[in-house]
Chain A
Amino acid sequence: MLGKLIKHDFLSNARFLGPAYIVMLVIALLGRFVTWLATRKAIMDSVAPAFAHIINLLSSLLTVAFVLAPLAILFMAAVWVIYRFYKNIFTDEGYLMNTLPTRPVNLVFSKLLNALIWMLITIGVAALSWFLAVGHLEGLRNIMDQIWDTIVQLFLNNKEAIHDQLGVPIWLFVVELLVFLLCWFARFTISWYFAIAFGQLIAKNHKVLGAIGAYIGLAIASNIVSTAFMGILGKVTDTVASNGAVMQTTLLGNSVLFILITAVLYWATTSIMKNRLNLD
């Protein structure tokens, strides 16, 4: 049942985000074409000055747009995956989803996993559209070379020094960093899910406002917990000598904190869905 939920949620996201991403890639190619036109002196000289001016302007605007586009598309995807949880569970679509023969823990997990999958896809699409619009194969090759050089430097040439700074081998640090980002994303998304579930309890006629209010309240509470936690971590790291140990304590400590917050909010969200669902 969980597999089917994940599949259908993926398809549902694809029905909205898929066309949006295709349009974005097409616009990126168009942008590339306009920029190419603008650099062809022979073509620009042969068209009317007003038209050449428009091409130049369009080319500049599209270049700026595609530098900002990755941020915009990431923001759009984040809003979408949060909105989808609300729409699919707490509006009319919830009449279908909440009567499926499955437990709320599965519903929430399928949404959470799809949120992660679609954010990763979005990062890929943002990178691809940026490359299509303003990137160059030569530039890409340079970037890849630089990345490779950095990897060689970090993993092979300066292994010992990096190990001292980070407290662990670089490969383990990369894994820890990825785990940390994953935990942060899970905590961010489930915070919104909880706020949406809680919001429909406190504001029956204004569920969205209720959710935003709940999120603000939760963010304040989370900050207090995080500050207290960092204070405790600070006390611990004061007693350790090396930079690496401080780095490790901070990174792993925060990952554990995010996991704990995620677990508590996951439990709270599914409990509300199970015991206090209010589809009016």
Chain B
Amino acid sequence: MAAILECRQLVKKYGSVQALNGIDLELPAGKIIGLLGPNGSGKTTLIKLASGLLQPTSGEILIDGMKPGVETKRIVAYLPERNYLEDRMTVEQMLKFMQDFYADFNMDKAREMLTHLDIDPKAKFKALSKGNREKVQLILVMSRDAKLYLLDEPIGGVDPASRDYILDTIIKNYNKDATVILSTHLIADIEPVLDEFVFIRKGDMIRHSTVASVVEQGETVDSLFREVFRC
């Protein structure tokens, strides 16, 4: 199957600090892939490059064969680690905003998830807790019928009880031909849903494998991560 995301000698520098050191990577469509590494390893930088928020210093990154731009933004659903919601906006207004800008946004699916998570659509974002705002952002992303989902720390700020629902939401709501890239360091939580994983350390890709190949060797991704990234 053709790659949904390709990196060719991808380099990103912030001033004199090199965040990505010439990454070569091909991620296939139709998989749930963990982008794993310790803090500061370059996971968020890679995701921002894919979503068009940053420009590569050199090399290139392609989404479905295209450089990040208007066309790729139509097919990419991006969940940043930041809270981008406007305080004065209500949840319902935000749903309408998404419906206006994304042809693949499914309003019914979004409303259903809000009900399930007991979030009032009439609530203003300033009245919601940090965890609930993160849940709303995830709902906005997972209510799209996108080709590529880029989820940066989707479960970092929510309570453990909600994590299961969120992971369940991710599995249930993504289109089977789509790819989900999950960046996190909470590996044990997401391991059950992963097909593949990529380890990143200090801007270098050090491993890209299927979860099945790790399990075959009697290991888990979590134990492998602890072994590889031992301080």
**A1 CB–B CB distance under 8 Å:** yes
CB-based contact A277/B55 at 8 Å: yes
**A275 CB–B CB distance under 8 Å:** yes
CB-based contact B97/A101 at 8 Å: no
Given contacts A16-B88, A92-B83, A93-B86, contact A103 B70 (CB under 8 A): yes
Complex interface residues of chain A between 1 and 47 (CB less than 8 A to chain B): 1, 4, 7-8, 11-12, 15-16
Cα of A249 to Cα of B15 in the assembled complex, Å = 48
- Identity of the chain A residue whose Cβ is nearest the Cβ of B72 in the assembled complex: A101
Partner of A93, one of B52, B55, B84: B84
Which residues from A are CB-within-8-Å of B83?
A: 92
Partner of B101, one of A12, A15, A101: A101
Interface size counted on chain A using CB atoms at 8 A: 26
**B73 CB–A CB distance under 8 Å:** yes
Cα of A96 to Cα of B89 in the assembled complex, Å = 14
**A278 CB–B CB distance under 8 Å:** yes
**B116 CB–A CB distance under 8 Å:** no
* Interface of A, helix, strand, loop or mixed by DSSP: loop
CB-based contact A101/B55 at 8 Å: no
Among the listed stretches B74-82, B184-192, B200-208, which one makes contact with chain A, having 4 or more residues with CB under 8 Å of it? Answer: B74-82
**B48 CB–A CB distance under 8 Å:** yes
CB-based contact B84/A95 at 8 Å: yes
Map CB proximity to A onto B201-218 as digits: 1 under 8 Å, 0 otherwise: 000000000000000000
Which residues from A are CB-within-8-Å of B88?
A: 12, 15-16
Which residues from A are CB-within-8-Å of B183?
A: none
Partner of A99, one of B52, B86, B89, B97: B52
Map CB proximity to B onto A200-218 as digits: 1 under 8 Å, 0 otherwise: 0000100000000000000
Which residues from A are CB-within-8-Å of B80?
A: 92, 95
What is the minimal beta-carbon distance from B143 to any residue of chain A, in angstroms?
A: 14
**A102 CB–B CB distance under 8 Å:** yes
Partner of B70, one of A7, A95, A102: A102
Map CB proximity to B onto A266-280 as digits: 1 under 8 Å, 0 otherwise: 000000000111111
Given contacts A4-B101, A99-B78, contact A92 B55 (CB under 8 A): no
Q: Please indicate which of the listed interface residues A98, A99, A277 has the most CB atoms of chain B within 10 Å of its own CB.
A: A99
A-B pairs, top 6 by smallest CB distance, nearest first, are A101-B73, A96-B84, A95-B80, A15-B88, A92-B82, A95-B84
* B interface list, Cβ under 8 A from A: 14-15, 48, 51-55, 70-71, 73-74, 76, 78, 80, 82-86, 88-89, 93, 97, 100-102
* A interface list, Cβ under 8 A from B: 1, 4, 7-8, 11-12, 15-16, 92-96, 98-103, 204, 275-280
Chain A to chain B contacts (Cβ below 8 Å), 10 pairs: A4-B101, A92-B80, A93-B84, A94-B53, A96-B85, A99-B76, A102-B73, A277-B55, A279-B53, A279-B54
20 other contacts beyond A15-B88, A98-B52, with CB at 8 A cut-off? A4-B100, A7-B100, A11-B93, A12-B88, A12-B89, A16-B88, A92-B84, A95-B80, A99-B52, A99-B53, A99-B73, A101-B101, A101-B102, A102-B73, A102-B101, A103-B70, A276-B55, A277-B53, A279-B54, A280-B14
